[in-house]
Chains A and B, each alone.
Chain A
């Protein structure tokens, strides 16, 4: 499944980011392939907001559809990381 399908409240593990530029920028922001993040918001037809610790990023929908993810079943609390 792709990041564009993520729903608010889901914790996701980021898989392959096919766009090279976005992959580099994600690494700088602190999101690497394999890291987990919380989908905070998904604007209808618009960007996905991901958070991880104090980091919060907005990802345009078209880019999000090129990011592979895996939804992680949530355990206790709302800690992610």
Chain B
């Protein structure tokens, strides 16, 4: 069995030719005769563990609805298995649903994974999938947990009611997986609801079109007023979504009443902890403990201890001298080639050192922490806990996720702002990320520099950044028109993360991040070397000296650090660390650098996500705010330190 994980971006092609299915994607490069088996289910049903068990590969297992945005695929015998983001229903409420919908519509067989303890919720999607008419197998997963909760499920009855094979499973222990595998050949379209069926037949007429879509799934989505399907067909809303959803909900309730028997339910320890996480006092305490744990892992262990060894000792101490010696005979000393390849900002020196010695340990530590948080189910509780406070800056609790992710990598965090409900919230979150959140690469440097300055400096630093965060958020909330969306999220059960899952997830995310960020480091180093070779670096230093020397009270060379900071903020932070500065200057430098423009990669993503106008405003105001606040903090520091 070929065990290769590949991402489908680029392998999916929109089938947009006239007369063909308009919604959905075609999977290209399929082996002849291979079936497309698509896993679909609600978040936290163990779908990804399932995927992993089927293909022998691992993909995200995440608890926060919406963090598995990418679609992964793997070989399964001669077939191809595709994993989809966890969804509560098929439509286009958000990015995940659109992705899942398109992959499901392209499926030959849908394996619907449902959580045995939560059939009331999960069967809604099951019935919708049946109404969509694709051949299906239902895997009722985590039956052990349901048994512990005192639920008895009549699987034979459920199979009869749904009209498709139903298999009880415990994916984490690989129980029932062989049965699912066998049942793939028995997959068949289930028993659709006759009332909905009759409406589907009239979907075209109800939407103001003559003919209904020839694809039954598209006809159903049209009936349910899926905005994208309506638009593609140039159809008007049918106004029947409530009716269809309501009817489906009633059928789920009736079905659950027939197939689920309840004995006594008991409150588990996880339930008790779950409540504590939302308690005003204990919840805050737990949050502080979580943040402290993350700081110890990323800020102390990775950024100081590990990086101290890998960057200073391993890379600067051994690797760089070695590569310079190796190429010394080939490159003329002081020449342009030497500057580009093995110079201070060289491709084989600084770039490699930064990626391997600095970024790699930080990114591993960050994703390790995030994976534990995601798999434990804590993140949605955190979103609930902070919802009220986030409301003051025009966001709802869910926005805490991109903001936390920003401490790992602002670029990635900007992409995850898509999970926010409105464009207004995305603007606020992106602006705050760009302005105030230092990424992991930078955090380490800042922690090292501020740590040595004492409590007053520490408070000044956080006071300055915190003030900008609150002020910018409040101002944007006042200025931007419209209202932000409301929090309405599912709180999955708290679980102890599985070590294997956490490690594999950390690894796959790290590799993806480095693959994306690596080239940017190369471009950044080339750009700086170019400025140096042409002599522009010196000119810019002189031009900026009124700002750097006059206002920030920093040495003239600080300008170089800031120019480097345009490429990546941590370049700037690292450059400033190398200068001899007094306490007040150090504080000024760190405040300015933290508020400084995000790295080129982040700016490009902001440009793509928010458009040129917003991206330019955000970028330019980052400069202004960074220098203004940095200078003010410096004046205070001169008085206090």
Contact = CB atoms under 8 A, between A and B. Distances in A.
Interface of A: 19-30, 32, 35, 40-41, 43-47, 49, 52-63, 79
8 contacts: A27-B249, A43-B385, A46-B385, A46-B388, A49-B491, A55-B490, A57-B488, A63-B486
A40 B275 contact: yes
B487 interface: yes
A43 B88 contact: no
Contacts of B543: none
A59 B388 CA distance: 11
Interface residues of B, number: 42
B208 interface: no
Given A54-B117, A60-B397, A62-B486, 7 more contacts: A24-B89, A24-B241, A40-B275, A43-B278, A55-B118, A63-B487, A79-B262
A43 B276 CA distance: 12
A65 to B, nearest CB: 10
Nearest to B124: A28
Q: List the 5 shortest-distance A-B pairs measured between CB atoms, nearest first.
A: A60-B487, A63-B486, A46-B388, A58-B384, A28-B88
Nearest to B89: A28
Contact of B121 (A30, A40, A44): A30
A56 B125 CA distance: 17
Contacts of B101: none
Interface string B238-274: 0001100110111011000000001001000000001
B388 A22 contact: no
- The A interface, classified by DSSP as helix, strand, loop or mixed, is mixed
Contacts of B246: 27, 32
B245 A24 contact: yes
Contacts of B241: 24
B248 A58 contact: no
B387 interface: yes
B488 A63 contact: yes
Q: Is the interface of B mostly helix, strand, loop or mixed?
A: helix
Given A30-B252, A60-B488, A53 B275 contact: no
Given A30-B124, A60-B487, A43 B280 contact: yes
Contact of B396 (A40, A60, A79): A60
A35 B275 CA distance: 23
Contacts of B125: 28
Q: Which of the listed residues B245, B280, B397 has the most CB atoms from chain A within 10 Å of its own CB? A: B245
Nearest to A40: B275
Interface of B: 88-89, 93, 115, 117-118, 120-121, 124-125, 149, 241-242, 245-246, 248-250, 252-253, 262, 265, 274-275, 278, 280, 380, 383-385, 387-388, 391, 396-397, 486-491, 493
B385 A60 contact: no
Given A28-B89, A58-B489, A23 B249 contact: no
Contacts of A24: 89, 93, 241-242, 245
A25 B88 contact: yes
B150 to A, nearest CB: 11
A49 to B, nearest CB: 6
Nearest to B493: A54
A41 B280 contact: no
Nearest to A24: B245
A29 B120 CA distance: 8
B245 A61 contact: no
A30 to B, nearest CB: 4
B609 to A, nearest CB: 22
A23 B487 CA distance: 13
A37 B18 CA distance: 48
B278 A41 contact: yes
A47 B397 contact: yes
